[in-house]
Amino acid sequence: MKVLLLLAGSWLLPGLDGTVLEFPRDHGAHPGHKTEWWYWTGRLTDDRNRRYGFQVTFFRRALPLRTREPRSRWDADAVVLGHAALGEVSVQRFRYAERAGRTAMGRAWSAGHRLSVGVGPWQAHQDKDRILLKIPSRDWSLDLELRESRRPMIHGPAAYSRKSDQLDQGSRYYSQPRLSVKGWIETDEGRRPARGEAWLDREWTSTGLGPDGVGWDWFSLTLADGRDVMIYVLRDKQGRFLKISKGSLRHADGRHHSWTPSRDTLHPTRYWTSPHSGIRYPAGWSIVLPGDSVPLIIQPELPDQELRTTRTTGVTYWEGLVSARRGDRPAGWGFVELTGYGKSGSPRL
Amino acid sequence: MRALVRSLITGWWRQSPWGILLSVLGVALGTGVALSVHLASRSVQDAFLSGLESLAGPPGHVLRAPAGDMDEQVFLGLEHDLEPDVTLLPLIEGEVRTLGSEMADLLLTGVDLSAPADAWGTLQQLTDPESLFGEHAVVWPEARATVTRGPREVALGSRVVRLNVVGSYRSPNRHAYQPRILADLPEAQRLLERVGRIDRIVVQGPVSPRLDRQVRELGLVIEPSGSRQKVLEQMAQAFRFNLGALSLVAALLGAALTLNLLGRNFGARRSLLARLHALGATRRSLSLVLLSEGGLIGLLGGLLGLGFGTGLATVTTETIRRTVSALYGRTGPAWAQIAPADLLLSLAASVALGLLAAAWPAVATFKIPPSMTVLEHVPAPHPPPWPQGWTASGLGLLLLSGVLATSAAHGLTSPELVNVVALGSAVTLALGTLGLIPVLIRGSASLVPHRFGREALVHRLAVRSFSQGWRRHTLSVGALMLATGMIIGMGTMVGSFRGSVADWARQSLAADLFVSSRQGEGTREGGTLSPGLADRVAHIPDIARVEPTYEIRAVWRQRPFTLAGMPLEDRARRGELPLLGGEYPQKPEEVLVTEAMARHHRLHTGDVLDLPAASGSWPARVTGIVRDYASDQGQVFMGVQAFRQLYPGWTRPRSLALVLTPGTDVQTVRRRLIDSLPEVSAGLVVRTPGELRREVLRIFDETFALTWAIEFIGLAVALMGLASSQQAALTEERALLVQLRRLGLSAGGLTQYILVQAGLATSIGLLLGLGLGHALAALLVHVLNPAAFGWHLPFALQPARILGVVSLMPPVALLACIPAIRQLRRDTHPGRAPA
């Protein structure tokens, strides 16, 4: 059945290469595609019981093929961009950093066949069953070791996730929830051991959003009852959900559901306006999952988790650690990403 | 009584509407001149600083090869295991000239566009980020106008290249000068035909001991960010001093003009005010009316001056900018913009001057005893005593000036300190000479021979009045003296300098033709020629010899200098390298150094320089010191063979000197060259020695255009001062002169009265100004020039200039007296009723 689906998919869905995802190969880069990202989000607790949220992202953006002569050592086939953030829940502080570099002269790299991507001193590297994340930054650093505890969660048929009504506008997409994390966090207060959980989101594509989409709300939820939830809501200019918005839910026993979220099952409950950009973001949600009658209440652990990435992508977005509650009871944790809520600034040179 | 005061005051307004208007115009003119020079100098300062900063590139430490460019491989070693808070920005750059209607020299700068550095500003108009990495893709600087995307032709080296403008960038400071076209590093390397090379690496962040060690192991030089800042500050300091002086002179002119015109206006009513005071008008009510009037005139004049000043600034800004550009290097475009603070300050200054001018006669009026108010005119107070204090201070300052000049010339070693001390000496010299003016004026009565005859009384009265009114005349004589001193001092220095440069250019340009690139002409980073050009030129008929000159910018003992490779033997034989000491090199490892290089590093013949070379340091023995005015940073001249051996990668000559077969017509060969070299359309120029010399002198003259502006303003101040002091004297002595006129004194006699005083003032001003000017010139030539530039100049008296000033000043002074003569004739006409 799966093979049939894949074959159908390769015919039905242009841009899909028809191959089954294979690991660790697909943790590595896909140079045949224009854009790709590795997106780790997670929560950590240090030895003093202080809580943190973190985000580490590497984007790979292919460059036009180089045929010009004479060749320069600086000629590159891609640019790697990195965003990293650390939210310190206990002291309500959020910091982020960004980097960019070309895949030449040792400034950045992204390897195929296995996970190895980096820009400058930032790197993510797979060593047997461990993923090593090293993010040294000016004021803070992450040095983490991640291990798989569940197999990857595939989104869409043959891991093809459509991003518009056009069949060819989509991406290959999988997530890897519940990665166990241990390592070190370094802040102004020194280097502390920390443990926690993380979520990896992987996508690669050669197309962008469709013409109707102006932004998205993305949720990853790791629930205490063993369920893993990924929801992306694509919005149009009026804030309406596009029909191709999707939700994926995997039970602890491996059963999988996907559904189309609507305003009835997912809606903001509060808003927050950034003092930095003036952009108004949703800052609390009510989500009813398939099969549930009681909504999950999602709330940011920190209000200000906005990234203004003028040095790299030029995009201003909100990405941060959230808690999930059902009534008065904690129900899990997650990450939310909100894009397209305001005008982004001009990229810096 | 208050109503009477108001009625009499306003009645006077109605009687003298022109006086009021003149006062308002005086304030407007004063405010306008001061404001315009301030605005122009500030905008040029901004343009200058932004030009320097943008040329220096992003802030941070700079890593560069000791000489020339470097292999990009060094970057790999540095980038590895770098601290997280450090970013390295590799950079390559070359001059380009835009073609078409708006020709401009810009810098094509190759940077890693994939790694933003927060250094250049923000990207604009970029539709597709990938296009940044396309073939010949560049990002154009956006100053005020929106940049047009698409193809654009530029001259690059000796080629014409079509660039593809994919977007623009805007500096954080919209008005900052951005002379750089940005391109992705590999694309810039290809465009500049220097693949594998970079010019420098900017370090953003701290340089750790480990990075410092790595840099030194790689044989690179670290220029601390502070050192570049220091160089910028030094350049800016000299530049600010010049424009600061200009602003100050203009402000003084404005204030003097305003005070004079207003003061005259109020002074003329002193007797009226004294009578009102005697009749019972209180000090408060009189002061209130006068101060209101002064404030109102100040405000009206200030408002008018704002418009006038802004307009004048718009006109003068470009002139000053060009001068500064020629004097100190590249500046950006400059626009005169008035800030709210300027607006408020100008208005406040105008109102304050108005109040001050009104307060002065008010205070003087209250001192007049009521019994004196019945006189038609209130006599001036008793003649002032001899100015012993002034004289003693002047002599003391002159002594101090001499001490400072001597220590600057002989006792000090730091050039910065020499500059400061020499400037101190110049200021004390001017102030000291100023201090001698009162005693000369006061003593003029006994110095001037007595005349006999019909007009002897007038002559004696004029001399006596001049002598006793030394307080009144000191300002105008001082202004004349300073103007003369500035014209003579600067003129003698510039004349000496120009003569030296012309002589040096005549001597050092002895080949038949010269080939060079027009790009970056006059700058230290000027354009170079393609490597194969010399061979192609050598094949053109009637060219006997092609002599290339190569230049590399290098750093030695933390100071930049130029290393030049040239056929020393040929040039020495033609006498192009005038020796100040030592002899010409005989061996490859021997070099010549310029006077500036020798002075900056205290080098002597026989010393050994460890020159930076591609393969490490290279010991070179100095055999001679040559006269050179091309670079104040210093140059080292070596033979072409040694240069090629030391810098094998540096194959692009800066210029070619061509020696023709004897008997060949230079213009024929020149035409042949222009016809056969396609690079001519891309900015290659072929010039005769005469044209090159004229070009050198043109650049020289542009450099000193600013000094003429300062002199002009100085002269204007002097003449205004003379005119105003004459009129002030008339106001004081009007009653006496009216009496004399009624007793039969002719109109010619009145004119003589004024001319005698003007002649005395001009003579004293000229006499002291000539002395001051030559002392200043000596200070500039013998102390400031060697300290600032590192070269000496022979002091050359400028008789034509002295003669010009001596013959110009009297008629100009006479011209300045015309308003006073006219007024006096009108006021003292026998038919005119007493005021």
Nearest CB neighbour to A70, from listed B121, B134, B195:
B195
Please answer yes or no on whether B121 and A312 come within 8 Å at the CB atom: no
Please answer yes or no on whether A121 and B113 come within 8 Å at the CB atom: no
Question: Cβ contacts (< 8 Å) between A102 and chain B: which residues?
Answer: 112, 114-115
B382 and A CB contact within 8 Å = no
Mean pLDDT value of segment B295-319: 81
B126 and A CB contact within 8 Å = yes
CA B746 from chain centre, in angstroms, equals: 49
ipTM: 0.84
The CA-atom distances, in angstroms, between A269 and each of A297, A298, A305 are 9, 9, 18
Cis peptide leading into B541, omega within 30 of 0?
no
Q: How far is A101 from chain B (nearest CA, A)?
A: 5
Please answer yes or no on whether A348 and B118 come within 8 Å at the CB atom: yes
Which range in A317-326, B80-89, B563-572, B614-623 is most confidently predicted, on average pLDDT? A317-326
Please answer yes or no on whether A63 and B130 come within 8 Å at the CB atom: yes
Please answer yes or no on whether B84 and A347 come within 8 Å at the CB atom: no
Residue with tokens 């980073």: B525
Q: What is the pLDDT of residue B293?
A: 80
Residue with tokens 């073939």: B135
B113 and A CB contact within 8 Å = yes
User: B143-152, B196-205, B447-456, B655-664: which has the minimum mean pLDDT?
Assistant: B447-456
H or E stretch covering B204? strand B200-204
Residue of B nearest to A134 (CA): B84
Tens digits of residue pLDDT in A262-273: 999 999 999 999
Q: What is the pLDDT of residue A347?
A: 58
Question: Cβ contacts (< 8 Å) between A136 and chain B: which residues?
Answer: 84
Q: What is the mean pLDDT of chain B?
A: 78
Residue of B nearest to A141 (CA): B84
Look at B257 and A205; give whichever has higher pLDDT.
A205
Length of chain B: 835
Nearest CB neighbour to A349, from listed B80, B120, B130:
B120
Please answer yes or no on whether B115 and A102 come within 8 Å at the CB atom: yes
Mean pLDDT value of segment B249-269: 62
Please answer yes or no on whether B112 and A141 come within 8 Å at the CB atom: no
- Give CA–CA dist B117/B182, Å, rounded: 13
Q: With 70 as the cut, is the pLDDT of residue B333 above it?
A: no
Tens digits of residue pLDDT in B692-738: 888 888 877 776 766 676 667 666 766 766 676 666 666 666 677 77
Nearest CA among B562, B553, B633 for reference residue B591: B562
Nearest CB neighbour to A105, from listed B76, B182, B195:
B76
Please answer yes or no on whether B114 and A76 come within 8 Å at the CB atom: yes
Question: Which of A66, A68, A72, A309 to mutate: most B Cβ within 10 Å?
Answer: A72
Mean pLDDT value of segment B179-193: 90
Please answer yes or no on whether B184 and A71 come within 8 Å at the CB atom: no
Q: What is the pLDDT of residue A10?
A: 31
Mean pLDDT value of segment B457-469: 81
Look up residue B747 and give its two tokens: 């109109």
B128 and A CB contact within 8 Å = no
- In degrees, rounded to 5, the angle at the alpha carbon of residue B251 between the alpha carbons of residues B248 and B254 is 150
Put simply, the chain A residues between 79 and 98 with a CB less than 8 A from any chain B CB are 79
| Full DSSP string of B377-421 | SPPP-SPP---HHHHHHHHHHHHHHHHHHHIIIII---HHHHHHH
Mean pLDDT value of segment B745-762: 82
Mean pLDDT value of segment A308-323: 89
B116 and A CB contact within 8 Å = yes
> pTM of this prediction?
0.64
| Full DSSP string of A209-260 | --TT--EEEEEEEEETTS-EEEEEEEE-TTSPBPTT-EEEEE-TTS-EEEE-
Q: With 50 as the cut, is the pLDDT of residue A12 above it?
A: no
Q: With 70 as the cut, is the pLDDT of residue B265 above it?
A: no
Look at A330 and A7; give whichever has higher pLDDT.
A330
Please answer yes or no on whether B170 and A346 come within 8 Å at the CB atom: yes
The CA-atom distances, in angstroms, between A182 and each of A47, A131, B306, B757 are 11, 11, 69, 97
Residue of B nearest to A35 (CA): B130
Nearest CB neighbour to A348, from listed B122, B189, B196:
B122
Q: What is the pLDDT of residue A2?
A: 31
Q: How many CB pairs under 8 A join A and B?
A: 96
Question: Cβ contacts (< 8 Å) between A311 and chain B: which residues?
Answer: 116, 118
Mean pLDDT value of segment B541-558: 86
Dihedral over alpha carbons B604, B607, B611, B615 (to 10 degrees): 170
- Give CA–CA dist B53/B180, Å, rounded: 12
A262 and B CB contact within 8 Å = no
Q: What is the pLDDT of residue B525?
A: 45
Q: What is the pLDDT of residue A9?
A: 32
Nearest CB neighbour to A312, from listed B113, B116, B124:
B116
Please answer yes or no on whether A348 and B123 come within 8 Å at the CB atom: yes
Put simply, the chain B residues between 308 and 367 with a CB less than 8 A from any chain A CB are none
